Structure 1
Amino acid sequence: MVLRIDAVSSRRQFHFGLALFLCLGITACSRDGQTQPPQVGPGCLADTGNLERRRVERVVDGDTLHLVGGDRVRLVGVNTPEIGRDGRADEPLARDAQRALAEMLSSAQEVWLQDGKQRSDRYGRRLAHAFDGDGVSISGRLIARGLGFHVVIAPNDRYASCLQAEEAHARSGRSGVWNESAFAATPVVALQPGQGGFTRVSDRVTRVSFKQNGWWVQLGGKVGVQIDGDARSRFSRAQLRSLQGREVEVRGWLIPMKGDWWMMSLDHPSMLHVVGDSVN
């Protein structure tokens, strides 16, 4: 079933981390065909577009759902702690995020989906923004509780500013992952050989360069952050040059390379900030 959001009289918007709570006009169809306006609370609210109502078969982890009918859905905008597999232990709060996601589904185990601009990932999973029955972003609710990190992988940057503000609130309150030493930003010198996966790296920018194979921001002389392809349009050379010598934090998927160095791809400015800035 498709839920059409007919109009948005106003929506929650954010400017430099300050939230303005406004009212969203949203209409949902009940099972008997009558339209009922859901009760909308604070949160990142769905904008105009179609929301597809789907039943959930299984909550895989804090950011992945298996739907009745076979679709696998990776929630856009959030990365939650990993549940251990192949003999590895769970990351802290992984089960909390999984349980929280399950509790955010409707009593009928339903979720409302809005496809990302990029509709699938390399694993064949559907990439979608997920909402509860009130039209509130589930990714936003998880982030606000500190049960996941805000991530932006372009072109799926819809709701990015709203989710960023939710994270700023969780971070300032030291909620969840922001109060776990396991998730603290790692200086380059503390990276372990072969370390990879989702990581927050914080260190001084030792070099900024612009090459044919990408624009590069080097941290601590050991981590090369690559900005390539369409991502270049979201950054300016002047802004990147201004990072020289400053301490920054970047987040993303760290790839260990030969020769005791690491690489990370960056395609959205919200995944990098100068340490000490008030805006996350």
Structure 2
Amino acid sequence: MARTVVKPLFIALSLSLLSTYATAHSCQPKNFEQTERVQQVIDGDTIRLQDGNKIRLIGIDAPEIDYKSTKNSEPFAHQAKQQLEQLIGPSKTVKLVYDKDIIDVYNRMLAHIHNEKGQNLQAAMLDKGLAKQIVIGKNDKFWRCYREHETAARNAQRGIWTDKFWQPKVVADHTLNSKRYHEYIGQISNVWTDEDNTTWIVLNRALYIGVKQNQRNIHRLYELNRSWVGGKAIVKGKPYHHKGRWRINLTHPYQIMMPGELAILPKPQEK
């Protein structure tokens, strides 16, 4: 990768990002688009309606249940399913709010789900520590609110955040080699902007996090500052190897957590 470097640049949370997490964002819509009844809760992020349609809850990823061998289910999978059943309640009535994409590649409906009382169930699952935040495609209507609830659960060490299975992996060649979507944690060793105006954040001198200039949603939240080099950051993504380097390209702000966002740094996985 060709680069023109005048001097190192350093990245930090801007005042706008700090205010983002100081002021709670709402998970409530202006109005609901549809009311349905639930036939079955499949797991912590998927339900089946009485009309037979499956709905995948937008914005969260709950532990997977292995229905062929339940003992092989991910930690907290059954607790997540039970919690979602409790949140829906005995009326089994849910209110739907759609986002930009309504159907996923598995032909499931996609929606933000609220119970009969109007409680956002994604936010509740994140707050209980029984799901992780995820943004797929352009469906990010309540992402800042969901981020706040996930961060609160992490800091309080609730649910999955007490289990090493769910902790981020330490950035190293052997952990990046899986080429799977993971959370990674590492020390910020360098930051610079190349000749294409892509900002590169380097973790543990091994993982290069690319933020292109046109990713305005990310750049609006971050400003240049020398103070964060040496601090730790968490990044979410699927590493790929290119020109001798492991890389992750950021396309959404939810993918990175900078120093200061977490009151308690997680104990990362070494393997």
Q: Does the pair score TM above 0.5?
A: yes
Cα contact 2:168–2:182 (8 A) shared by 1: no
Q: Which residue of 2 aligns with 1:122?
A: 105
1:114-263 to 2 correspondence within 5 Å? 114-153=97-136, 155-189=138-172, 191=175, 193-194=177-178, 196-210=180-194, 216-227=200-211, 232-236=215-219, 239=222, 242=225, 245-255=229-239, 257=241, 262-263=246-247
C-alpha distance in structure 1 between counterparts of 2:150 and 2:220, whole Å? 27
Q: Which has the higher contact order (CA 8 A, sep 6+)?
A: 2
Change in CA separation of 1:201 and 1:90 when aligned onto 2, cut-off 3 Å: farther
When normalised by structure 2's length, the TM-score is 0.72
Q: Which moved more, 1:53-62 or 1:111-120?
A: 53-62
Answer yes or no: is 1:74 the counterpart of 2:56: yes
- In structure 1, list runs of 5 or more residues that go unmatched: 1-13, 21-43
Q: Which residue of 2 aligns with 1:89?
A: 72
C-alpha distance in structure 2 between counterparts of 1:216 and 1:56, whole Å? 46
Change in CA separation of 1:108 and 1:197 when aligned onto 2, cut-off 3 Å: same
Cα contact 2:207–2:246 (8 A) shared by 1: yes
C-alpha distance in structure 2 between counterparts of 1:82 and 1:210, whole Å? 40
Shift of 1:129: 0.7
Code of the residue aligned with 2:98 in structure 1: it is D
Q: Which moved more, 1:202-211 or 1:145-154?
A: 202-211
- In structure 2, list runs of 5 or more residues that go unmatched: 1-18, 265-271
Q: Which has the higher strand share?
A: 1
CA shift digits 1:110-156 (9 cap, x unpaired): 32110112223333332211111111110111111111122334632
Shift of 1:239: 3.7
CA shift digits 1:160-193 (9 cap, x unpaired): 2322222232222211122222222221126163
Q: Which residue of 1 aligns with 2:45?
A: 63
Cα contact 1:187–1:203 (8 A) shared by 2: no
C-alpha distance in structure 1 between counterparts of 2:46 and 2:220, whole Å? 36
Shift of 1:233: 1.7
Cα contact 2:237–2:255 (8 A) shared by 1: no
Change in CA separation of 1:279 and 1:60 when aligned onto 2, cut-off 3 Å: same
Q: Secondary structure at 2:33's aligned position in 1?
A: strand
CA shift digits 1:47-78 (9 cap, x unpaired): 21333112223322211223233433221222
Aligned partner (choices 91, 95, 101) of residue 112 of structure 1: 95
CA shift digits 1:76-110 (9 cap, x unpaired): 22222233477792221111111111222232433
Q: Secondary structure at 1:104's aligned position in 2?
A: helix
C-alpha distance in structure 1 between counterparts of 2:220 and 2:68, whole Å? 43
Instruction: Calculate percent identity across the aligned residue pairs.
Output: 22
Q: Secondary structure at 1:102's aligned position in 2?
A: helix
Cα contact 1:252–1:265 (8 A) shared by 2: no
Aligned partner (choices 242, 247, 251) of residue 267 of structure 1: 251
Aligned partner (choices 16, 27, 40) of residue 21 of structure 2: 16
Cα contact 1:225–1:263 (8 A) shared by 2: yes
Shift of 1:242: 4.3
C-alpha distance in structure 2 between counterparts of 1:182 and 1:199, whole Å? 11
Code of the residue aligned with 1:125 in structure 2: it is R
Answer yes or no: is 1:47 the counterpart of 2:52: no
Shift of 1:252: 2.9
Change in CA separation of 1:15 and 1:108 when aligned onto 2, cut-off 3 Å: same
Change in CA separation of 1:273 and 1:45 when aligned onto 2, cut-off 3 Å: closer
Shift of 1:19: 4.7
Change in CA separation of 1:55 and 1:276 when aligned onto 2, cut-off 3 Å: same
C-alpha distance in structure 2 between counterparts of 1:260 and 1:164, whole Å? 33
Cα contact 2:188–2:201 (8 A) shared by 1: no
Aligned residues: 243
Q: Which has the higher helix share?
A: 2
When normalised by structure 1's length, the TM-score is 0.70
